[in-house]
């Protein structure tokens, strides 16, 4: 599939080897930055015309990275599109998790940059005393995912993803954030509309979104799914009211699960479209890590204390219910049910089965983009950012395995 009008700067292989970057230049070309870029494009077999900003890259590069060459280490254009979308998703995940870690996670050389916000960290710890370690490890995982995926693409002669030009969002200015990254975020954690239907979708033994696309799964926290809520303290003022600060921490706890259930479904759905065995191996190896994250956050969100709070800035109210008591309660809401209940799979004539859901592949990448956009995660981003994400998703969704 030909994809046009993606700026070449967004597929630049010379980004720094940092949690916010894409890939170390030492892994590609040790020359000066302008020579590294030109050398990389020439290795792809691209002409000088592609060195100008705003020209297309992916479609023109298909022959360069071996659309049908499996015997010499090449991967198909479709395989590259699958990995490229996954890399973009992981860069976005790493960006939001880095923000969470700066304020509420463990600060160490593995995930550097922040200094911690004691008040926010204490509120997060109400959900579990090990939350700081879990946030740190989830952050570290996402960083390694996008760095590996980009490095693998480059090793196969395919262009990696670099979203650095879109690091323009403000983020938090509260105590503990990395001062160098204020105004340089990819994602917005302060205006979220959080879909918590994953809570009941994984506990429902009668419905599967693959078989019941029109079924509405109930929200665990209905008020989080309307209006906009912050999951991090925007400024130190947000830490002065303990009740509102706990509401922020609770929002984060449910947002963690919302984010990680997306990756849980994305990887198996993408794997069904892969052609090259090694690409398939990558997708089915990273995917279960996302599932481990999801189950961890499913468990911790259930510990969010019931409360009602009003945002002093926006006036928006949020209520976290006791999910074990009426009108909630029962198998759909019970907080200690963190393993997927069996549900219909493939065909209702077959016995129910405990599975990841959804995994239907049609439009999965575009579905992820729509899901994250509707969440408010990209409020403030430029039209060019959304154009790029849509093009990456469309390329991944058009990938078809070539095994027959």
Read off the pLDDT of residues 118-142 as tens digits, 9 standing for 90 and up: 999 999 999 999 999 999 999 999 9
Direct distance between the N- and C-terminal alpha carbons of the chain, in angstroms, rounded to an integer: 18
Which segments within 179-292 are labelled E, that is strand? none
CA separation for the pair 304, 301 (Å, rounded): 6
pLDDT at 154: 97
At 294 the three-state DSSP class reads: helix
Integer CA distances (angstroms), 51 to 61, 62, 315, in order: 13, 17, 49
Between 361 and 362, residue with greater pLDDT:
362
Q: Which helix (H) or strand (E) holds 318?
A: strand 317-320
Between CA 5 and CA 52 the distance in angstroms is 11
| Number of Cβ within a 10 Å radius of residue 116 | 17
User: DSSP state, 319?
Assistant: E
Q: Which residues contact 284 (CB under 8 A, 6 or more apart)?
A: 267, 268, 271
Question: Where are the extended beta strands (E) located within 228-274?
Answer: none
Enter the DSSP assignment of 353: B
Most confident of 44-53, 61-70, 258-267, 395-404: 258-267
Taking alpha carbons only, the member of 6, 252, 297, 310 closest to residue 138 is 297
- For residues 61 and 6, the model is more confident at 6
Which pLDDT belongs to residue 402?
Answer: 63
Residue 71 backbone dihedrals phi, psi, to 5 degrees: -85, -10
Residue 264 has phi, psi (to 5 degrees) of: -60, -40
| Per-residue buried b or exposed e for 286-303, using 16+ beta carbons within 10 Å of the residue's own CB | bbebbbebbbbbbbbbbe
- pLDDT band, residue 19 (cuts 50/70/90): low
Q: Residue 403 — very low, low, confident or very high, per pLDDT cuts 50/70/90?
A: low
Q: Which residue has the higher pLDDT, 333 or 11?
A: 333
Q: Which residue has the higher pLDDT, 238 or 70?
A: 238
Residue 17 clears pLDDT 50, i.e. is over it: no
Tokens found for residue 151: 């490095």
Digit-coded pLDDT (tens) for 313-349: 999 999 999 999 999 999 999 999 999 999 999 999 9
Residue 40: the pLDDT is 31
Task: Tell me phi and psi for residue 66, to 5 degrees.
Answer: 80, 70
Mean pLDDT of 288-295: 97
CA atoms 145, 150, 156, 159: torsion sign: positive
The rounded distance, in Å, linking the Cα atoms of 87 and 147 is 8
Q: What percent of the chain has pLDDT over 90?
A: 79
Q: Would you tell me how many other CB atoms lie within 10 Å of the CB of residue 39? A: 15
pLDDT mean over 233-261: 98
Using 50, 70 and 90 to split pLDDT, how confident is the model at 221? very high
The values of phi and psi at residue 398, to 5°, are: -90, -5
Q: Are 233 and 120 in contact (CB under 8 A)?
A: yes
Rounded mean pLDDT, 7-28: 40
Q: Tokens 């205006």 — which residue?
A: 191
Decide if pLDDT at 6 tops 60.
Answer: no
Q: Residue 353: pLDDT above 60?
A: yes
Q: What's the rounded Cα separation, in Å, for the pair 373 and 45?
A: 35
């Amino acid at each position: 599939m030909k994809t046009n009008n993606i700026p070449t700067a967004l597929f630049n292989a010379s980004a720094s080897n940092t949690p916010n970057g894409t890939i170390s230049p030492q892994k590609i070309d040790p020359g000066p930055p302008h020579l590294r870029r030109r050398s990389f494009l020439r290795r792809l077999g691209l002409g000088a015309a592609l060195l100008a900003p705003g020209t297309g890259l992916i479609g023109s590069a298909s022959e360069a990275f071996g659309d049908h060459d499996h015997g010499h280490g090449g991967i198909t254009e479709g395989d590259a599109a699958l990995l490229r979308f996954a890399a973009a998703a992981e860069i976005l995940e790493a960006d939001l998790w880095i923000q969470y870690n700066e304020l509420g996670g463990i600060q160490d050389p593995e995930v550097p940059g922040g200094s911690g916000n004691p008040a926010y960290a204490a509120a997060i710890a109400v959900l579990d005393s090990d939350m700081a370690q879990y946030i740190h490890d989830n952050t570290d995982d996402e960083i390694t995912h996008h760095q590996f995926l980009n490095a693998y693409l480059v090793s196969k002669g395919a262009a990696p993803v670099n979203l650095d030009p879109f690091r323009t969002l403000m983020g938090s200015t509260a105590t503990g954030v990395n001062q160098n990254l204020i105004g340089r975020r990819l994602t917005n954690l302060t205006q979220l509309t959080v879909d918590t239907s994953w809570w009941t979708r994984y506990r429902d033994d009668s419905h599967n979104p693959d078989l019941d696309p029109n079924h509405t799964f109930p929200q665990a926290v209905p008020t989080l799914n309307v209006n906009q809520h912050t999951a991090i303290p925007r400024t130190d003022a947000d830490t002065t009211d303990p009740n509102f600060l706990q509401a922020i921490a609770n929002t984060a706890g449910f947002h963690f699960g919302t984010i990680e259930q997306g990756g849980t479904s994305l990887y198996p759905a993408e794997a069904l479209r892969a052609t090259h065995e090694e690409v398939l191996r990558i997708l089915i190896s990273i995917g279960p890590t996302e599932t481990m994250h999801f189950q961890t956050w499913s468990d911790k969100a259930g510990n969010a204390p019931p409360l009602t709070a009003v945002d002093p800035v926006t006036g928006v109210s949020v209520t976290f219910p006791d999910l074990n008591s009426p009108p909630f309660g029962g198998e759909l809401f019970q907080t200690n049910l963190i393993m997927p209940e069996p549900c219909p799979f493939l065909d209702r004539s077959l016995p129910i089965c405990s599975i990841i859901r959804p995994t239907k592949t049609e439009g999965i990448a575009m579905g992820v983009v729509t899901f994250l956009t509707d969440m408010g995660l990209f409020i403030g981003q430029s039209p060019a950012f959304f154009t790029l994400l849509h093009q990456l998703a469309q390329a991944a969704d058009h990938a078809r395995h070539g095994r027959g």
